[in-house]
Amino acid sequence: MEFIIVTGLSGAGKSRAVDALEDIGFYCVDNIPPKLIATFYELFQQVKSGFQRVAVVTDIRGGKMFSSLEEVLTQFQEEGREYKLLFLDASDVVLINRFKETRRKHPLAQNYHGALDLAVEGEREILKPVRERADYIIDTSYLSPAQLKERISNLFLGDSSAALMINCVSFGFKYGIPAEADLVFDVRCLPNPYYVEELKNLTGLDDPVREYVMQWEQTQGFLKRWIDLIDYMIPLYCNEGKSQLVVAIGCTGGHHRSVALAQYLYIHLMEAGKRTSVHHRDIRKS
């Protein structure tokens, strides 16, 4: 049985993540107190009809009961129960705006006399130890519902326990570094197609931009060393039992250089038989 525990910050998109998991065949149960997770785990294993893929959601809505989640996760590890922990995250500014737009009440609002910013900050502090134990972290700050669904599908459509999942993410430094990134590479040192008039409005997915980025000696020197480093590090992460590796490549706006190089890495990993995906976070931003 493939068993996923979903948690994360309020407003970060757990409901949409569950919808995406259901779409790819998971049986999902929402808002479970942590102490009941083991009971559900045993129940689903014993059902004769068989549940091959199960996801349960637990979060701060459980109040004081949520504090037992770390204890439950430790118990699972000690007893050898296989599970994966998916953590949904987003920036404070985005979370606050989402609550304002939907007019929903934050679960901790009463604890902070209605101060939304303090409630978000307080929840982040509570969840910090859980986030550090996560197998998968998805930052939804700049993801549309369709993009979130795509990320979930890429992670779990196959057997998530089969191999390390490597996510190649391009981004623009002007919009911030992806919160879920494990490795961050800054390629703003490479020649910029933005200053070439006929390339300015294209992206790294277009052949003229890709050819421009790749033609330079600086780029070729970077690629050789960069790919060697990635290839060397992947087995090390696998040996550590890591489930997800997020490689983030950033340029100024996230349209040209980072996109071309993220695609290059993605194709390289695909050809090497690795389980991988690519996401261009800021490619549509102006």
Please state, in angstroms and rounded to a whole number, the distance separating the CA atoms of residues 69 and 59. Answer: 9
| pLDDT reported for residue 161 | 53
pLDDT value of position 241: 73
Q: Tell me: the pLDDT tens digits for 73-82?
A: 999 999 989 9
Whole-number pLDDT of residue 136: 92
Tokens for 38?
A: 């083991």
Q: How many residues does the chain have?
A: 286
pLDDT at 45: 82
Domain boundaries, the chain: 2-156, 165-280
pLDDT of residue 162: 58
Q: Tell me the CB-side half-sphere exposure of residue 278, using CA atoms within 13 A.
A: 19
For the domain made up of 2-156, give the CATH fold. Answer: Rossmann fold (3.40.50)
Does the pLDDT at position 286 exceed 90?
no
What is the percent of the chain with per-residue pLDDT over 70, rounded to a whole number? 97
Tokens of 22: 């259901």
Q: What is the pLDDT of residues 130-175, one digit of tens each?
A: 999 999 999 999 888 888 888 888 888 765 555 688 999 999 999 9
Per-residue pLDDT averaged across 98-111, rounded? 90
pTM, two decimals, is 0.73
